[in-house]
Amino acid sequence: GNSVTQMEGPVTLSEEAFLTINCTYTATGYPSLFWYVQYPGEGLQLLLKATKADDKGSNKGFEATYRKETTSFHLEKGSVQVSDSAVYFCALSDRGYQKVTFGTGTKLQVIP
């Protein structure tokens, strides 16, 4: 079956540091890939997505590139802010089946 593996947290960074959260996946076919973010006390919301190999999703300074050869979709941001503190989930969606599979989440804490 499909699965998503992401790096364990928590990750603690100083403001303006570079962020990488690793995500790898196992899937049959050609899934779509997503990063969702959950701020404290809220539900998940979509951060970015990529639907085919070599696509780059980007939003709010975050980026991730769909790498089929390494089955990866790592999340990066050049300069994090305190307001980026949240839990980040990598996810994939099977094209024909609509079902979304999530990773375990990585908690990011940014300190001033």
Q: How far is the CB of 105 from other proteins (least distance, A)?
A: 5
Indicate the residue among 56 and 99 with the shorter CB distance to other proteins: 99
Which residues contact other proteins (rule: CB under 8 A)? 31-32, 34, 36, 41-46, 49, 51, 89, 93-105
Q: How far is the CB of 85 from other proteins (least distance, A)?
A: 17
- Determine the Cα–Cα distance for residues 41 and 38; give it in Å rounded to an integer: 8
Q: What is the 3-state secondary structure (H, E, C) of 72-88?
A: ECCEEECCCCHHHCEEE
Q: How far is the CB of 4 from other proteins (least distance, A)?
A: 8
Indicate the residue among 59 and 79 with the shorter CB distance to other proteins: 59
- Determine the Cα–Cα distance for residues 101 and 112; give it in Å rounded to an integer: 33
Q: How far is the CB of 15 from other proteins (least distance, A)?
A: 26
Classify burial at 54, counting beta carbons within 10 Å of its beta carbon; exposed 0-12, middle 13-18, buried 19 or more: exposed
Indicate the residue among 20 and 45 with the shorter CB distance to other proteins: 45
